[in-house]
């Protein structure tokens, strides 16, 4: 069922990521980690559905999305760059494979952090961050979404890896079997994985090399 949601605010989270808040449609229910099909209620864009993950919590009185924009695609995310307060989104069906099952390692690439932002926010609220760890892969430091917040939340359990930039205190290159192995502890029951398909394929292969069972992997490709 499609519902209209008026946009409350738009701000930049990074140089190319927007944080958009909007009215919460009546009776909308979702779990932290789930996504929804969104389109823009403007002529010619109503039927252009794209999936975005809620970075708000189900109990919040508004909905929030954190959206990486791709101006070169000339698609929906480019169009979102000219969205203003009072414009409308069309909110469709809720779906998604990522849900929290227990402590483990969250492995995200770029905008693949969004389901984990929602889950970590919920765990923070419940005082259950525990020994959860986050391995976050980006091109450069400027691409890291919510770095300060995640640092405060996870401390030493937040590990960043940058492929295109060398920075002190940050891993360099791509995620490797060795890096994942270093993070595994007795509290690692699950591996949560979300990012672009090439990164997902590489990390799934590494998890398999580490002997991680399929049933311990919770994943969604963006």
Ligand X SMILES: Cc1cc2nc3c(=O)[nH]c(=O)nc-3n(C[C@H](O)[C@H](O)[C@H](O)COP(=O)(O)OP(=O)(O)OC[C@H]3O[C@@H](n4cnc5c(N)ncnc54)[C@H](O)[C@@H]3O)c2cc1C
Closest CB to ligand X among 52 and 136? 52
- Selected from 111, 119, 154, 199, the binder of ligand X by CB under 6 A is 111
CA atoms within 13 A on the CB side of 171: 18
Distance (Å, whole) CA 164 – CA 12: 22
Alpha-carbon torsion, ordered 34, 72, 143, 207, to 10 deg = 60
- Range in contact with ligand X (rule: CB under 6 A) among 19-27, 46-54, 179-187, 206-214: 46-54
User: With binding defined as CB under 6 A, does residue 136 bind ligand X?
Assistant: no
Sheet arrangement for strand 217-221: 171-172, 158-162, 133-138, 104-109, 190-195, 217-221
- Selected from 13, 37, 42, 70, the binder of ligand X by CB under 6 A is 70
Kindly state the smallest distance separating residue 143's Cβ from ligand X, in Å: 12
Tell me which residue has tokens 């203003």: 84
- Range in contact with ligand X (rule: CB under 6 A) among 74-82, 168-176, 177-185, 199-207: 74-82
User: With binding defined as CB under 6 A, does residue 53 bind ligand X?
Assistant: yes
- Range in contact with ligand X (rule: CB under 6 A) among 49-57, 82-90, 147-155, 208-216: 49-57
User: With binding defined as CB under 6 A, does residue 203 bind ligand X?
Assistant: no
Is residue 72 within 8 Å of 132, Cβ to Cβ? Answer: no
User: With binding defined as CB under 6 A, does residue 157 bind ligand X?
Assistant: no
- Selected from 31, 51, 94, 202, the binder of ligand X by CB under 6 A is 51
- Selected from 30, 100, 191, 222, the binder of ligand X by CB under 6 A is 222
Is residue 141 within 8 Å of 167, Cβ to Cβ? Answer: yes
- How far apart, in Å, do the first and last CA atoms of the chain sit? 23
C-beta neighbour count of 46 within 10 angstroms: 13
Residues that bind ligand X in the complex, under the rule CB under 6 A: 35, 50-53, 65-68, 70, 72-78, 96, 111, 114, 220, 222
């Amino acid at each position: 069922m499609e519902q209209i949601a008026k946009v409350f605010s738009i701000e930049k989270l990074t140089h190319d990521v927007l944080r958009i808040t909007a009215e919460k449609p009546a009776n909308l229910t979702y779990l932290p980690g789930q996504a929804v099909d969104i389109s823009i209620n403007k002529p010619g864009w109503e039927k252009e559905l794209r999936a975005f993950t809620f970075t708000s919590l189900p109990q919040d009185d508004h909905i929030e999305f954190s959206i990486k924009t791709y101006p070169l695609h000339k698609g929906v995310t480019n169009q979102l760059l000219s969205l203003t307060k009072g414009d409308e989104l069309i909110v469709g069906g809720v779906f998604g494979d990522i849900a929290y099952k227990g402590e483990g390692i969250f492995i995200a690439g770029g905008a693949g952090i969004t389901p984990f932002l929602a889950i970590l926010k919920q765990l923070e609220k419940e005082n259950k961050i525990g020994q959860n760890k986050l391995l976050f892969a980006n091109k450069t430091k400027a691409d890291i979404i919510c770095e300060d917040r995640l640092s405060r939340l996870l401390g030493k359990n937040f590990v960043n890896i940058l492929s295109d930039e060398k920075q002190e205190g940050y891993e360099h290159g791509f995620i490797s079997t060795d890096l994942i192995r270093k993070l595994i502890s007795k509290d690692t029951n699950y591996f949560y994985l979300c990012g672009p398909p090439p990164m997902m394929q590489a990390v799934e292969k590494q998890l398999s090399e580490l002997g991680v069972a399929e049933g311990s992997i919770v994943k969604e490709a963006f």
